[in-house]
Amino acid sequence: MKPTLKIRQQIAIGLLAILILALACIYAVVEFKVKPDLTLERQRQIAVNQEALSNLLSAKLEKIQVLTSTLALLSARLPKDEALFKTLFPSVIDNHDDASIAGGGIWPEPNAFTKGVDRRSFFWARSDSGMKYLDDYNDPSGPGYHNDSWYTVGRNAPVNRCSWSDAYIDPVTKTPMVTCTVPIKEKGQFTGVATIDMMLADITKSLEAYGTENQGYVFAIDPSGQVISFPKGKANLVKNDGSMLTVAELSKQYPSLKPALTYYNQSGRQKGFEEQKDAILGGAAYVNVVKLPSTGWSVGLVVEKSRMTEIAQNMGWFLMLAIGALLIVVGVIAATFFRSLLGQINQTTTRIHQLAEGGSTQELEVGKLNELGELRQAVNGYGDKLKQLLGQIHQESANLVKDAGRLSEFSHDFLNKANSLSDENHTLAAATEELAATSHDVSMYANETKETVERIHNDVRVSGKEMGEVINTMRSLTQAMTLAQQNILKLDEDSRQANSMLSVIRDIAEQTNLLALNAAIEAARAGETGRGFAVVADEVRNLAAKSESSAVEIEQVLGRLQVGSKESVSSMELGQQETEKAVQTAELTANHLQEVVNAFSQITEQATQISEAAHEQQKVSQDLTQFVSRLQELTGSNAADSNKLSNMSKEIDAIAKRLNALR
C-alpha cells in the first residue's frame, strides 16, 4: 500500500491552503478590480480638479479682463484731459495695491486724444512707491507703439474681452508676464486700446500649490509653445538671452513628458497621458492636460500612479491581515476539535488490532451513540461474528483432513497411469517425425521440379514474344524500304525536272551575255557619256557568265544524283526481297516455339499437381506430428498435474490440521 498523509496532516494542509487561497483572492481583487477602479475614479477626480483649476484661473484672468475693460470704457467716456487721466487712472490700475498687476495704460490712435499729436499714451508701471507714470512710448524719436503686436491685436478684437499676448520677460524686472488688450471704441470707431500687464508669479504660485495639494506638480504652456510654469529648480524658465524656455527645449530635458507638453498645439479640450517613469517623481505617472478657453494656455497636472492606488494598497493589506488572522483563529479551533476526534479514532483502531490478533476478548466501550459510538458498536458486532466463523471453520477442517487422505491416494494412482502413457507417446512421436522428414524431402524435390519447369516455360514464352517482335520489326523495315524506294524514285524524277530547268537557265544566261555585249558596244559608241553604262554592261556580262558556269556545275551534280538514285533503288529492291524471306523464316520459327510453349504448359500443370500432392502429404504429416506433440504435452501435463494434485493434497491436509488447531 502506498504511504499517504495522515488525516491530521491533511487537515493542517487544507487549512493552510484555505488561508493561502483567501489571501490570493484578496490580492487578485485588489490588484485587478479595486486598483483599476480607484485609478479610473482618481483620473476622473483629477479631470474634475483640472476643470476647477481652469475655472479658478479663468476667474483670476476675468478680474484682469474686467479691470482692462473698465480702463477702456473710462477712456472712451471721459473728456480728453491729460491732467484728469493722470489723476484718475493710476488708482484704477493699482487696483487696491494688487501685486499681480505690473502696470497698465491707455494707448490712443494718432490724433485721437490730441489733434496733431500721433503719440499720446498714458502708461503706469508698478514701483516700490506705487504706480509710476512713464512717457517713453511718446518719444517722437522712439519706435512708437502703434505697430506692436499687443496693440494691433485690438483693432479687430471684440469690446469688453481681453486679447491675451504670448508670455514674455519684462526687460526691467526680468519676470514673466502677459498683457491683456481691450479695444477703445467711441461711437463704434476704434480709437485705441487699454492694457493691463499681469505678472505670472501669482499664477505660478497657485499652480505650485495646486500641484502640492494633489501630491504632484503642474506645468503650463502658452499658445506659442513657451513654458510659463514648471516646478522650481527643475528647469530655468528664463534663458540667458532673456527669452522664455520653449516646449521643444523642455522636451529634450524631459523626454517622457513630450506627448503631454506638445498637446498645446493639438485639438481637444482635455486629455490624459501615461508615463512609464517620470524624471521628477521617479516612478510611473499620470498626466492630465486641460486648455484654458480664455487664454489658450495648456495646464498639465502630473501625479504619481502609486499615489492613485495607495488607498487600494492599504486596503488590500488590511483585508489580508484581518482575514488571515480570522482564518488562523478558526484553524486553531478546528485543529483542536479534530485532534480530539482523531484521538478517539486512534483508540478504536488500537482495540480493533487487539481483536484481530485474538489477544483480547474485551468489547469496546460504546459511550455516546454518535458516529464514533456507532463505529465501536459495529466493531463489537464484527468481533462476535468472527468468533462464530472460527467455530464453523474448526468443524469443517476435520472433514477436510479425511478428504485430503483420499485425494492423496487417487493422485498417486493417476500419476502411475500418466507415466505409462508418456512412454507410449514417445514411441509414436519418433515414428511421426520420420514420416514428416520423408514428406518434407518429397515436397522439396517436387517444388524444385515445378520451379525448373516454370522457369523454362517462361523463357520459351519470352523467346516467342521476342520472335514476334523481330517479325514485326522486319515488316516495319520492309515498309520503310518500300517508302524509301518511292522517295528515291520521286527524287530521280525531280532531278530530271531540275535538269530541264537548268537548260532554260543556260539559255537565259547566253541571251543575257549577248544583251550585255550589245550594251557595251552601244556604250562605246556613246563615248564619254556611255562609260558608266559600259561598266554596268560588263558587270551584267560577268554575272551571266557566272550563272552559266553555275548551271553547268549543277547539271553535273544532278547527273551524279540520278545515277546514285538508280543504284539505291536496285539495292533496296534486293534488300526488300531478302527481308521478306527472313520474315517467312521467322514466322516458321515462331510457330515451332508456340508448340514448345504448349508442351511446357502441360508439363508445368503436371509438376504443379505433383507438388500440391507432396505438399498435402507434408501437411498431413505435420498435422500428425503436431497432434502427437500435443498428446505428449497433455500426457506430460497430466503427470505434472498429478504431482501438483499430490502436493495439493498434502497442503490441504496441513491446512486442515492448522485450521483444526484454531480455537
* pLDDT higher at 243 or 464: 243
For 109-163, the DSSP string reads: PTTTSSTT-S---EEEEEETTEEEEE-GGG-TTS--STTSHHHHTTSSSPTTS-E
| Contact call for residues 624 and 435 (beta carbons, < 8 A) | yes
Over residues 412-433, the mean pLDDT reads 69
The answer, yes or no, to whether residue 39 has pLDDT greater than 80, is: no
The answer, yes or no, to whether residue 152 has pLDDT greater than 70, is: yes
Residue 311 — pLDDT band, cuts 50, 70, 90? low
Q: What is the pLDDT of residue 661?
A: 64
652's enclosing H/E stretch is: helix 531-661
Question: What domains, with CATH codes, occur in the chain?
Answer: 42-308 (3.30.450.20), 349-380 (no CATH), 390-659 (1.10.287)
3-state DSSP assignment of residue 98: coil
Q: What is the pLDDT of residue 592?
A: 74
Kindly provide the residue ranges of all beta strands, DSSP E only, lying in 530-575, ordered along the sequence.
none
User: Which residue's C-alpha cell is 467716456?
Assistant: 77
Which is nearest to 289 in space by CA: 47, 463, 28, 507? 47
Which backbone phi and psi does 593 adopt, to 5 degrees?
Answer: -65, -35
Cα angle vertex 485, ends 483, 488, to 5°?
110
Q: What percent of the chain has pLDDT over 70?
A: 78
Residue 663 — pLDDT band, cuts 50, 70, 90? low
Rounded Cα distance between 72 and 182, Å, is 7
Give me the torsion for CA of 345, 347, 349, 353, rounded to 10°: 180
Q: What does the pLDDT look like over 225-250, one tens digit per residue? A: 999 999 988 998 888 888 899 999 99
Q: How many residues does the chain have?
A: 663
The answer, yes or no, to whether residue 416 has pLDDT greater than 90, is: no
Q: What does the pLDDT look like over 489-527, one tens digit per residue? A: 787 777 777 777 767 777 777 787 787 778 778 777 777
Which has the minimum average pLDDT: 52-56, 151-155, 550-554? 550-554
Rounded Cα distance between 170 and 345, Å, is 94
Residue 295 — pLDDT band, cuts 50, 70, 90? confident
Q: What does the pLDDT look like over 638-650, one tens digit per residue? A: 667 767 766 776 7
Rounded Cα distance between 602 and 210, Å, is 120
Rounded Cα distance between 170 and 183, Å, is 23
Over residues 41-54, the mean pLDDT reads 82
Which backbone phi and psi does 282 adopt, to 5 degrees?
Answer: 85, 10
| Contact call for residues 589 and 467 (beta carbons, < 8 A) | yes
The answer, yes or no, to whether residue 473 has pLDDT greater than 70, is: yes
The answer, yes or no, to whether residue 4 has pLDDT greater than 80, is: no
3-state DSSP assignment of residue 113: coil
Residue 354 — pLDDT band, cuts 50, 70, 90? low
Q: What is the pLDDT of residue 639?
A: 67
Residue 148 — pLDDT band, cuts 50, 70, 90? very high
Over residues 118-138, the mean pLDDT reads 91
- CB-based contacts of 2, cutoff 8 Å, min separation 6: none
Cross-strand partners of 108: 192
Cα angle vertex 354, ends 352, 360, to 5°?
120
C-alpha cell at 251: 522636451
Q: What is the pLDDT of residue 446?
A: 65
| pTM higher than 0.95 | no
594 to each of 53, 449, 470, how far by Cα in Å?
119, 22, 15
C-alpha cell at 541: 556580262
Q: What is the pLDDT of residue 607?
A: 67
C-alpha cell at 403: 478428504
Q: What percent of the chain has pLDDT over 90?
A: 25
Q: What is the pLDDT of residue 656?
A: 66
| Contact call for residues 471 and 586 (beta carbons, < 8 A) | yes
- As a whole number, the mean pLDDT across the chain is 80
The answer, yes or no, to whether residue 619 has pLDDT greater than 90, is: no
C-alpha cell at 37: 477602479
| Contact call for residues 450 and 613 (beta carbons, < 8 A) | no
The answer, yes or no, to whether residue 477 has pLDDT greater than 80, is: no
The answer, yes or no, to whether residue 660 has pLDDT greater than 90, is: no
Rounded Cα distance between 478 and 580, Å, is 7
The answer, yes or no, to whether residue 264 has pLDDT greater than 80, is: yes
The answer, yes or no, to whether residue 267 has pLDDT greater than 90, is: no
Rounded Cα distance between 230 and 228, Å, is 7
3-state DSSP assignment of residue 115: coil
The answer, yes or no, to whether residue 147 has pLDDT greater than 80, is: yes
For 216-247, the DSSP string reads: EEEEEE-TTSBEEE--TTT--SB-TTSPBPBH
The whole-angstrom distance between residue 338's C-alpha and the CA centroid of its chain comes to 53
Helix/strand number for the chain, H first, E second:
11, 12
Contacts 24+ apart (CB under 8 A), 591-596: 593/460, 593/463, 593/464, 593/467, 594/464, 596/460
Residue 164 — pLDDT band, cuts 50, 70, 90? very high
- CB-based contacts of 648, cutoff 8 Å, min separation 6: 407
Which backbone phi and psi does 132 adopt, to 5 degrees?
Answer: -110, 130
